[in-house]
Copies of this chain bind each other. A is one copy, B any other.
Amino acid sequence: MSGFEQVGDFAHLDTDRAQRRGYPEAIYCSGKSVEQVVGIAEAVRERSALFTRVTQEQQDALRKVLPGIMIDPVARLAAWPAQPPEPSGGTVLILCAGTSDLPVAKEAELTARYLGRDTELIADVGVAGIHRLLSYTEKIQAADAIVVAAGMDGALPSVVAGLASCPVVGLPTSVGYGAGQGGVAALLTMLNACAPGIGVVNIDNGYGAGHLAAQIAARK
């Protein structure tokens, strides 16, 4: 059986994925050695790929092995090739509740963009001052998919889903402290949202949220 490529004795790259699923590979870099990341980068040189949760040391190595690669240090994301595809399908709107949610929200935005969607990000529109959110009602109702990143109480997706006709991707973040339990409170809030139409991803999983939103908005 084919459809994969072995890299050293440590990886089986899923070369069939772009054809089977329609989106390129992504390399989760946390817990991988620099040597392993470099080996994989060399293997994907002729294809396209995303590298997520890239450490500073891994970023430096990637810049050497894939010159010109796009790296966003805040989102800890690298994209190869650096030029995103021409946008197709609908628009992905990313909302985040607070300024501190931005790194995760940007990971979602960049992922959606490198998977081929137009994106827009609006930050710091949490429910504590709901007039801020309501001033963007038109954009919410025009979007084809919405990612809502929120930590602490995680209440924003409930309100946004109640205003939107398109699906909402709930993206809990680990922003907060104490009973927030590293994002668990926000996660539970989103899973128990009283408004239907929310699909939830893992805490701080900006990549997964952007991927799901890109799939949802693939058709306009």
Taking beta carbons and an 8 Å cutoff, which residues of A are in contact with B?
A: 1, 3-4, 9-12, 14, 16-17, 20-23, 26, 28, 30-32, 36, 97-100, 102, 121, 123-132, 134-135, 141, 152-155, 158-159, 161-167, 169-170, 172, 174-205, 207-208, 211-212, 215-216, 219-220
B155 near A158 with CB under 8 A, answer yes
Q: Quick one: copies of this chain in the complex?
A: 8
Complex Cα spacing A208 to B167, Å: 11
- The 3 A-B residue pairs whose C-beta atoms are closest, nearest first, are A199-B199, A178-B203, A31-B100
From B100, B123, B152, B181, contact of A193 by CB (8 A): B152
Complex Cα spacing A4 to B121, Å: 17
Residues of chain B within 8 A of A9, CB atoms compared: 121, 123
A161 near B128 with CB under 8 A, answer yes
B191 near A188 with CB under 8 A, answer no
A215 near B194 with CB under 8 A, answer no
Closest beta carbon of chain B to A178's beta carbon, Å: 3
Closest beta carbon of chain B to A214's beta carbon, Å: 9
Complex Cα spacing A207 to B127, Å: 18
Residues of chain B within 8 A of A1, CB atoms compared: 131, 134-135
Given contacts A21-B164, A178-B183, 8 further A-B contacts (CB under 8 A): A3-B132, A12-B123, A16-B129, A130-B163, A153-B190, A196-B208, A197-B215, A219-B219
From B124, B187, B194, contact of A191 by CB (8 A): B187
Residues of chain B within 8 A of A198, CB atoms compared: 199, 201, 208, 212
From B14, B154, B170, B183, contact of A129 by CB (8 A): B14
CB-CB under 8 A for A194 and B127, given A183-B178, A188-B185: yes
Closest beta carbon of chain B to A17's beta carbon, Å: 6
Complex Cα spacing A167 to B215, Å: 6
